Amino acid sequence: MRESLAAEWLKLRSVRSTYVLLGSVVMVTVLLAAAVGASASGAHDPVRRNDLLVGLLGYGLVIYMALSALSVSQEYSSGTIRTTFGVLPHRGFVVVVKASLLAAVCAASAAVLTPVALLVGSAAAGQALEWDGARRLLWGVPVIVGITAVIAVAVGVLVRRTAIALAIVIIWPLLIEGLTTLVPRFGPRLATLLPFTNAHFFLGDSQGLAFAWPPATGLLVFAGVAGMLLGAAVLTVRYRDV
């Protein structure tokens, strides 16, 4: 276990794209938090905390997914995955270790950026931040980001192709789930069953939808989808040739 984590960590930190993507998350998170806060400056109503995290939970989430998916698809593209599976023949274990590492790295990054975004946005708005009301965001955002990384790793394993994997992780949270609400008659109800919609609901943003369960259940729905995708990825590497 320790050797596998060390090997995956070495591969992750030796790739330049890791630092570029994580740096992009920092820029998007801080700049959008400042912009949202500045736009609310002088307003009588306090700025919504979720609005200050639009960079992290919007574009930042997609960047985290891209980083996680690339960590898998690039190995398949370069053929280094064969060497990895040759050294560690338990392929499913390799996938779980990789998903765990990416989840930890992305969650740690989000744990730092969440309070930074809230502070920057509140300062730009000229308002004091109430930390008591932000507790769920402070621990919930890193949890959601970590689970998102697991989903992206699973997607990378299942499709293998970099272009397809990136298309999925970009279109899924940003476009597909949002357009579902436009489906006549049953669209809004269907949207409440989707994973990223439930993740935002757990963090306090219902997006105008009527959920039939409490926010905590939204986290379970999101984690359940991640677990099913990871399980499918583990089965795939066991019975599918490299």
Range of the domain at 70: 2-239
Residues sharing a CB contact under 8 Å with residue 76, sequence separation 6 or more, in sequence order = 156, 160, 161, 242
By CB atoms closer than 10 A (0-12, 13-18, 19+), residue 185 is exposed
Number of domains in the chain: 1
pTM score? 0.92
- Kindly give the parts of the chain with pLDDT less than 50: none
Taking only the tens place, the pLDDT of each residue in 124-163 is 888 877 777 788 899 999 999 999 999 999 999 999 888 9
Taking only the tens place, the pLDDT of each residue in 206-225 is 888 888 899 999 999 999 99
Residue with tokens 């990416």: 102
Is-contact 39 127, C-beta < 8 A? no
